Amino acid sequence: MPKTIQEGRYKIRRSPDPDSLIIPADSANSLAILGPEDPSCEETGIWILTFDASYSSLDCVASKGAMVATLQHEGTQAYLAIQKPISPDQQPSILVSSDDKQAWTINPTGKTGYGKEEDYYIGYPRLVQGEVMVVDTLMLRVYPPRLALRPFEDGMTLPWRFEPVV
């Protein structure tokens, strides 16, 4: 039986790659990127997941068992957010922003990944021009990989693993 995600501190890793996690490119108010863990900095990739009760299940696009939450970077105190305006055609960048407390849907995939932990999709809580949008890597091949909001493609979109930090 898969575990249910709880509020708390997590490193958010790309499944199936245990070495890549969501980190700020620089500091607060920068791009969110997929990068390696920095052993010299304990808070590199630690995010605080807090449930957001301001969304009702009728307001948001979510799979069964999904939760609506904010993700705040522990080191910068900034939130995972999106560059506006939002359009499926433009792949808006994912930011680490001190000004935007963005809510996300944390959707269980129903599958387990690396380490037998359940995998999740991080989704935008509303349809965008009829599309379900999720946090994924930007199609443009740049290093380090930047995160963007992209249309969900079943079988193509890779999930995320929330690794609890004690």
pLDDT digits (tens, 9 = 90+) for 130-149: 888 999 998 888 888 999 99
The verdict on pTM exceeding 0.75 is yes
Q: Give the up-direction half-sphere exposure of residue 71: CA atoms within 13 A in the CB hemisphere.
A: 26
Domain extents in the chain: 8-164
pLDDT digits (tens, 9 = 90+) for 69-97: 999 999 999 999 998 777 767 788 999 99
**For the structural domain made of 8-164, what CATH number should be given?**
2.80.10.50
Q: What is the mean pLDDT of the chain?
A: 85
DSSP-assigned letters across all residues of 84-129: SSP-TTT-PBEEEESS---EEEEEEEEEE-GGGPEEEEEE-SS-BT
